[in-house]
Amino acid sequence: MSNGSNRRPRPRWERGCLVSSKGGFLINFRDIELSDKPVFDRYFRQHRYDISECTFTNLFIWRKGYGIKWAHEEDILFIKAGGEDMPFMLQPFGADESNLPRVLDKMAEWFAQNNKPFVLKGISEEMVEMLQKVRPGYYEFQEDRNNFDYVYLRQDLSELAGRKFSSKKNHINYFTTHYADYRYLPMTEELIPACLASAQEWYDKRPDDHTGLEHEKFALSEAMGNFKQLGFQGGIIEVYGKIEAFTCGEALNEDTAVIHIEKGNTDIRGLYQMINREFCRHAWSDMTYINREEDMGIEGLRRAKKSYNPIKLMAKYEVTLAK
């Protein structure tokens, strides 16, 4: 019988936190619930964030598809994704140069305890600089090009002025000529069932697509089902009295809106160009920039996002321990 000398010391609960046998807190991840929104919002408003991951909405609606969980320990917001097989964390929110080394140690301890490599993703250039400052030579940084956010001038998207947008205007001219009775309307809760029905038609045309669409359907359903609670703005386009396109987004910071969802009938030429333009005109006149999120490495999506002439790409990095 073992005398217990080789047993791993067990953590203990202390003042509502699980405490490491080495001292200090352990990171205890849990599921995201809608009622957690005020906590996330408080941290995301403490500092200006420009990347699309820094909204409660994105984390909440994609929690199933990306295995997203969170922890709130000693005034730090930790966010983990990637499920159980390939977990990674976002940057720790609420940390500054004074406590970042200790927080990073706790993150590394979590990975070690779970026998997983230390990986951070969605790391902004600002955080890269801070990591290099507090731990020079300790980390390796790899650009995650597939997840760079595309950022546009709102005025460009709402006016489509100049030759660089001539093809977009041609599509819109076709749409307005052939569907003259269209209507743009702000999204309301009453319109959501029709929006979901429109989205289902879009999915029905793609029966053989990969599992990712199931995660997207869940995210869309969660977004639409909690439209009011999430603080969305949205817009729809009706053609012959039927909703054929819809979109929604929210403020990312004081001068930038982020577009989370955009769906439309691909059989109607000019419809996507129209919903994009009208939404920027009507919903975001007080914003300077529009963040239309990443292309995920999908070539067609990359071409489409580039074709709108982004003013900048928000770089994101993957961070691992230096070899």
| Ramachandran angles phi, psi of 150, nearest 5° | -95, 125
Give the mean pLDDT of 204-233.
88
Banded model confidence at residue 13, pLDDT cuts 50, 70, 90: very low
15: left (phi over 0), alpha (psi -120 to 50) or beta: left
Banded model confidence at residue 213, pLDDT cuts 50, 70, 90: confident
Annotated domain spans of the chain = 19-147, 149-293
| Ramachandran angles phi, psi of 142, nearest 5° | -125, 125
Give the mean pLDDT of 51-61.
97
d(CA 275, CA 261) in angstroms, rounded, equals: 11
Beta strands in the chain (DSSP E): 12-14, 17-19, 30-31, 69-73, 76-81, 88-89, 119-123, 139-143, 149-153, 183-186, 233-239, 242-253, 256-264, 289-291, 312-314, 317-321
d(CA 226, CA 244) in angstroms, rounded, equals: 21
How high is the mean pLDDT of the chain?
Answer: 92
The predicted pLDDT at position 178 comes to 98
Pick the range with the lowest mean pLDDT from 19-33, 116-130, 194-208: 19-33
Which top CATH class is 149-293?
A: alpha beta
Judge whether residue 109 has pLDDT over 50.
Answer: yes
Which residues lie closer than 8 Å to 126 by C-beta, 6 or more apart?
none
**Which CATH architecture does the domain made up of 19-147 adopt?**
3-Layer(aba) Sandwich (3.40)
Judge whether residue 7 has pLDDT over 70.
Answer: no
d(CA 134, CA 112) in angstroms, rounded, equals: 21
Indicate if 149-293 has the same CATH topology as 19-147: yes
